[in-house]
């Protein structure tokens, strides 16, 4: 190893030891709100020589950064956090989540990297040499945020400040302020901070309604502690639903975001904030080309409640829903595979009082189409407890209108279930009626127990012991009824299965 290589590795080790990688290692995605007066900042790029290609307008990232960069802040936090003996967050039950949040648990390869440079296990948050158990350990982290009012109101991610005893905000002019956390909402991952200052630079807020897939966007933040770093890319998709994040219709981008970018703004070509950088999808713990931002409209909805009341209340419908695939569309005679299929209605909930039933497909909320199942919780999440919403549902081959007065969220809100794959073949079920004791245990009035599953039903995931509650939305109580409904079906049937107290529609291809 030559001296230059040795110095380089020592520099990397020094940066790691200094905690540059110990920031609030959550990848960020941005969201924003926009004034109408903002104009796109673009530069003309001439076409290549000897081609007929039209002139392409490119954003002037330098101008956007120079004008709006001073409104982006660096956030440092300190406090204590429960960590397991192997360095992972003691509150995190997932060993290796795909959607990486925070720097609470450092990837094994990074731990090995530190060991190679003689760093002790405590350098990355774990207890020396042990495994299992949890203990209180000092926590320091870094994230990003942006100023939304000249009197010191700042938006960031909730996970950036979670568990922090002290929050420090650093501006681009190197001034530092102790920040007060006005409130944080874990369901949407939005937090609001306040610093004692006036005349501060602010970022104009945009909207995601006019944000187009393929549009240029850039992020400003502090990846790995490198303050005021700028990265750029395009919008990859809108309205993405992530596991356990059903309330947030994420903006997906290919903008490079890394630990420390969390809470920073996602900015469009007009210099307006359209999102808050929040998460990445990664198998390594670092950026791999897929990042997610919280839409600015949702963040502002949360911010307004926190400023007014110090807390956030989310509305609740009280249903479990599934994605509508082609097999379900065929089973329920839907014109196209869109909507949110209701698999279970919570007794006494807003959905129950409104008359929603298992097997209904919610296709519109207040006149807005529900294309994917994730659209439903995202729209309900923007409402408040007590609000009334108009639901258009597809029931027994026709549209019906219902009105629901939403309740308050307790625990998990509207959730999405995985229906599993649909397959070709005959139904392949051996069924029998439930015994009185079985009905009482399953808490159902009808249904048939699956004694054996083969063919298409088995391939679709139906198992012995499952209870078939309905076929294509029709409650079933005897075997002949099932045969009749299957005989009338064309390409597939939708079986409502109850298993371990949970209900789920399973599409089964029959021809």
Catalogue the active-site residues.
159, 189, 262
Strand 398-405 versus strand 388-395 pairing type: antiparallel
Nearest alpha carbon to residue 77 among 19, 136, 153 = 19
Nearest alpha carbon to residue 321 among 394, 252, 382, 267 = 394
Q: Residue 439 and residue 36: Cα distance in Å, rounded?
A: 60
Q: Residue 339 and residue 209: Cα distance in Å, rounded?
A: 20
CB crowding 20-44: b at 16 or more within 10 Å, else e: bbbbbbbbbbbbbbbeeebeebbee
Q: Residue 246 and residue 41: Cα distance in Å, rounded?
A: 34
Q: How many Cβ atoms are within 10 Å of 297's Cβ, its own excluded?
A: 20
Cβ proximity of 365 and 374 under 8 Å: no
Q: Residue 320 and residue 468: Cα distance in Å, rounded?
A: 17
**The pair of three-digit structure tokens given for residue 123, joined into one six-digit string:** 């350098």
**The pair of three-digit structure tokens given for residue 418, joined into one six-digit string:** 């995985």
207 SS3 class? coil
Q: Residue 173 and residue 73: Cα distance in Å, rounded?
A: 10
Secondary structure of 287-327 as H, E, C letters: CCCCEEEEEHHHHHHHHHHHHHHCCCCCEECCEEEEECCHH
Cβ proximity of 169 and 144 under 8 Å: no
Q: Residue 257 and residue 190: Cα distance in Å, rounded?
A: 17
Query: Residue ranges of the alpha helices (H) in 366-416?
Result: 375-381
CB contact set of 333 (below 8 Å; sequence gap of 6+): 397
**The pair of three-digit structure tokens given for residue 53, joined into one six-digit string:** 């290609």
Cβ proximity of 221 and 277 under 8 Å: yes
Nearest alpha carbon to residue 114 among 223, 7, 12, 1 = 12
**The pair of three-digit structure tokens given for residue 327, joined into one six-digit string:** 């097999």
């Amino acid at each position: 190893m030559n001296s230059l290589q040795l110095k380089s590795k020592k520099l990397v080790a020094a940066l790691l030891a200094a905690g540059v990688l110990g920031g609030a290692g959550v990848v960020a995605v941005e969201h924003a709100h926009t004034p109408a007066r903002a104009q796109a900042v673009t530069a003309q790029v001439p076409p290549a020589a000897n081609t007929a290609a039209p002139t392409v307008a490119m954003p002037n990232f330098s101008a956007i950064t120079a004008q709006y960069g001073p409104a982006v802040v660096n956030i440092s936090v300190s406090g204590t956090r429960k960590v397991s003996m192997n360095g992972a967050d003691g509150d995190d039950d997932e060993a290796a989540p795909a959607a990486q949040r925070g720097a609470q648990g450092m990837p094994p390869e990074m731990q090995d990297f530190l060991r190679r440079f003689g760093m002790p296990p405590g350098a990355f948050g774990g207890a020396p040499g042990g495994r299992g158990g949890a203990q209180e350990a000092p926590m320091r982290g870094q994230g990003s945020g942006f100023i939304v009012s000249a009197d010191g109101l700042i938006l960031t991610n909730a996970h950036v400040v979670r568990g922090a005893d002290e929050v420090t905000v650093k501006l681009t002019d190197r001034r530092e302020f102790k920040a007060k956390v006005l409130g944080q909402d874990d369901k949407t991952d939005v937090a609001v901070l306040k610093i004692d200052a006036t005349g501060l630079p602010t970022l104009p807020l945009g909207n995601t309604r006019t944000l187009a897939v393929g549009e240029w966007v850039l992020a400003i933040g502090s990846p790995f502690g490198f303050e005021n770093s700028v990265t750029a890319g395009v919008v990859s998709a809108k309205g993405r639903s992530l596991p356990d994040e059903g309330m947030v219709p994420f903006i997906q981008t290919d903008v490079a975001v890394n630990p420390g970018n969390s809470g920073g703004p996602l900015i469009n070509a007009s210099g307006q904030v359209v999102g808050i950088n929040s998460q990445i999808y990664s198998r390594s713990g670092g950026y791999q080309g897929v990042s997610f931002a919280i839409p600015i409209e949702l963040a502002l909805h949360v911010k307004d409640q926190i400023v007014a009341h110090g807390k956030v209340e989310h509305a609740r419908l009280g249903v479990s829903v599934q994605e509508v695939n082609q097999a379900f569309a065929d089973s329920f005679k839907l014109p196209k595979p869109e909507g949110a299929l209701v698999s279970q209605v919570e007794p006494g909930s807003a959905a129950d009082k409104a008359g929603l039933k298992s097997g209904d497909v919610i296709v519109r909320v207040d006149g807005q189409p529900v294309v994917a199942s994730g659209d439903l919780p995202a729209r309900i999440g923007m409402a408040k407890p007590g609000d009334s919403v108009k639901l258009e549902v597809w029931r027994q081959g026709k549209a019906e209108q219902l009105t629901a007065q939403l309740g308050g969220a307790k625990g998990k809100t509207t959730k999405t279930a995985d229906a599993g794959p649909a397959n070709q073949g005959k139904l392949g079920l051996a069924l029998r009626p439930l015994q009185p004791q079985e009905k009482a245990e399953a808490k159902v009035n009808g249904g048939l127990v699956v004694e054996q599953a083969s063919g298409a039903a088995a391939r679709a995931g139906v198992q012995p012991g499952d209870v078939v509650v309905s076929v294509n939305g029709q409650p079933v109580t005897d075997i002949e009824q099932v045969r009749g409904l299957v005989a009338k079906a064309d390409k597939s049937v939708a079986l409502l299965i109850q298993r371990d107290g949970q209900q789920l529609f399973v599409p089964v291809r029959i021809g």
